[in-house]
Structure formats: structure tokens, C-alpha cells
Copies of this chain bind each other. A is one copy, B any other.
Amino acid sequence: MEEKFARRMSTVHRSFIREILKVTADPEIISFAGGLPNPELFPVASMDEASRQVFAEIGASALQYSTTEGDAGLRKIISERYAKRGLEVDPDSILVTTGSQQILDIVAKVFLDKGDKVVIERPGYLGAIQAFSIFEPEFVTISLENDGPNLEELEAAFKDGAKCFYAVPNFQNPSGVSYSLEKRQAVAELLDKYDVLFIEDDPYGELRFMGEDMPSVYSFCKKPSILCGSFSKIAAPGFRIGWVVTEEKTIYDKLVVAKQASDLHTSTVAQAIMRRYMETNDIEAHVQLIKDRYGRQRACMVEMIGKYFPEGVTITEPEGGMFLWATLPEGVSAMDLFDVAIKEKVAFVPGRPFYVDGSGENTLRLNFSNSDEKRIEEGIKRLGNSIRSFLK
């Protein structure tokens, strides 16, 4: 059979994280491995009510085929929410997608020829690495520092003929790092100078529980660029509704063609329920609830790491989002640590899959959104013990 598969499939693998999630299904395991929002915060009753209204009021049309561009009312709501945060976006420059994962697929379809140079952060978002890999680009990775990408490396990559730069400037998955205002401006200038297409992925931007909101890199770009958003982290991921913004009409049109070929359009009924939910609920109050909870959990995790982790482990201290990133002493393998930790009934994601160059052996990702403070304390204690067993 193998000889029948397309060449591209030899370089694309199942998500290592999703494989890990199968191991961690055991309820006794305290898992910091997933990337799941906390389901206790899902607005189940409000979604139920929104869904009843959709069936009662628009009925059959919510069950019919619909346009590739997406529900016009939903796109208007997305546009109005951007306006509140200071970004003017025409609803006609918004394309609704089947989760933000689909954006990566259609952007790759539209832009990537085999061998094109795609610049990503190191560590980088695994979903993007997977989606892009299908189109066989050459990845160029740039060190992520505590305030954003290393600018010398970035400029060198741009100079060397990069096609595009994919980045998650707010509370990045996996590292939790955010770009400083200075680096946002500097990145935008480099993008313009070298005419590199920018793809800004921002699923976590609204989940800031410390510090000040910052403008998107997108807002500083003078040349055509792409901004990705999602309802998954502020409402619920089970709808699979994301969106892509681009004010360059020629790009927008190509993305529509690529999406049409991919799945015709995003679920009409899912869009209708999400739109009604957004119209009839105070989403900003709901986002505040999420931020309060995640903020407490993040504070707890940082505190417990201070208490239970041995010397020599460093962490990022994210101001938002769902993840923090730990670096073990040189020579300690997070893969080996995983095997020990799972016996202690605690799980995390080893960092290596986030590095396309095979480095990152001594790094790991910890999710704080999906465990309460009691489990965070117990889990970090177990993990601290597991790490200690490698330092003797």
C-alpha cells in the first residue's frame, strides 16, 4: 500500500499530543498535557437557549447549505468586536472557517509551493507545522525569546527569501511567550521591508489576565497580511468556528476558493447557534470569568513550581493564555521524564514535537487551563518528584 501514498504523507505524522491524550484518559492521571479549555466554563445553558431560538426562528434555513464566506451576521459581530479593541475590519474581509486549524490548511493551499521557505517560531505551534507540512515547505525556525522572536535571526531568514512568517504573538502555544510592543513594531517593519507575508494566529489574545492588551502585529503591517481568530477559547471549541481576516481582496478570493474545495462551507447550524449566542449574551462578562479562573490557576501553577520543582528548572511566566513552558537542566530528557511521570500519574507534553529541527529535548509544555488549583498543587508536586529522580 505504502507506494500508493503521495510523497507528502511521508513527512506528516499524527499529532503526538493527540496520541498522548489517549494515554491520559485515565481519570487518576492529573494531566497538564492537553490544550483543552476548562469545560466547567462552557456556557451550556446559554447555548441551549440559543439553539432553541435558532430552531424556532430560522428553522429549515439553519439546516440548509450556505455560503462559503460564512454567516453575514456572525461576520458583523466579529467585526464589531475587533472595533471595540481598536481594529477596523470590514465584515466582507472576514471568512468563517471550520476552526482556526482550517485557516492554516487553506493558507497553505493558497501560498505554499513545495520548497517555499516558511518561517516559524522555535518552539512552534504543532497544528501549523502539521497543516503546512502537507504542502512540503522548507521550515526556517527563529528562536523565541521572552519578549518575542530574535530579530537578527528573523531578518536573516527574511533576507534569505522567506515566503511567509507564521506567528502566535499572544501567549503562544506552546511557550506562553508574548511579543513586546517594541518587537511587534520591529517585526512589522521587517515584514514590510522584505515583503514577507505575515500570518498572525491569535486564539488566545483575549485571555490576558495580567499586564496591558497590546495591538496586533497585523495592525502595524503596511503590506497584505492575514489575521486568524477563533471562538474556541472564548466560547467553546466543539462548534469548530474560526475566522480569517485579510483586507487584500485578491487573497480573500483565493482563500474562499480553497475553502470551497475543502468543505464547501462551515456548518450552517453551528454558525447560527454561535451567532445567536453572541447576540443574546454578554460575551465580555463571560470572557472575564474565564480570565479570572485561568489567572488563578496560572498563579497557582507558578507558585507550586516554585515550591516543588528542584533548582535548575526555568519557566516562562505567561500573562495570559493556557500554557507555560519549562526548561529542564541540560541533559535531562523530557521524553524520559514523561515515562516516569506517567507512573506517578501526572502528564505533560514533552517539548520536542514543537521543534522541527529535533532539538528541545529538555523542554516541556504545561497546561493550566484545564485543572483546578487542588489538582495543580498535587500534580506539580508529583512532577517535581519525577524531575528530582533525574537529578540524583
Does A335 make an interface contact (CB < 8 A)? no
With known contacts A1-B224, A14-B256, A254-B9, A236–B63 Cβ distance under 8 A: yes
B99 in contact with A263 (CB, 8 Å): yes
Does A258 make an interface contact (CB < 8 A)? yes
A105 in contact with B261 (CB, 8 Å): yes
Q: Digitize A23-55: 1 where CB-to-B-CB distance is under 8 Å, 0 elsewhere.
A: 000000000000111011010110110011001
Does A193 make an interface contact (CB < 8 A)? no
Give 27 CB contacts A-B under 8 Å: A6-B111, A7-B113, A9-B257, A14-B256, A15-B260, A37-B64, A39-B61, A42-B64, A44-B55, A44-B59, A44-B63, A48-B51, A51-B51, A62-B238, A64-B238, A65-B237, A105-B262, A133-B261, A236-B269, A237-B268, A239-B268, A239-B270, A240-B263, A240-B264, A262-B262, A267-B270, A269-B273
CA distance A254 to B8 in the complex (A): 11
Residues of the B chain whose Cβ atoms lie less than 8 Å from the Cβ of A116? 6
Q: Digitize A244-279: 1 where CB-to-B-CB distance is under 8 Å, 0 elsewhere.
A: 000010110110111011111111111001000000
A130 in contact with B260 (CB, 8 Å): yes
Shortest Cβ gap from A222 to chain B (Å): 14
Residues of the B chain whose Cβ atoms lie less than 8 Å from the Cβ of A268? 237-240
Does A210 make an interface contact (CB < 8 A)? no
Task: Point out the residue from B4, B7, B66, B253 that lies within 8 Å of A238, measured CB to CB.
Answer: B66
Chain A interface (Cβ < 8 Å from any Cβ of B): 1-2, 4-9, 12-15, 18, 35-37, 39-40, 42, 44-45, 47-48, 51-52, 55-56, 59-68, 98-99, 101-102, 105, 109-113, 116, 127, 130-131, 133-135, 163, 197, 224, 232, 236-240, 248, 250-251, 253-254, 256-258, 260-270, 273
A5 in contact with B110 (CB, 8 Å): yes
A52 in contact with B60 (CB, 8 Å): no
Shortest Cβ gap from A269 to chain B (Å): 5
Query: Which 7 residue pairs of A and B lie closest in terms of their CB atoms, listed nearest first?
Result: A238-B268, A48-B55, A63-B236, A39-B60, A63-B238, A130-B261, A98-B263
* Beta-carbon nearest neighbor of A108 in chain B: B6
* Beta-carbon nearest neighbor of A241 in chain B: B267
Residues of the B chain whose Cβ atoms lie less than 8 Å from the Cβ of A7? 113
With known contacts A134-B109, A261-B133, A267-B270, A36–B64 Cβ distance under 8 A: yes
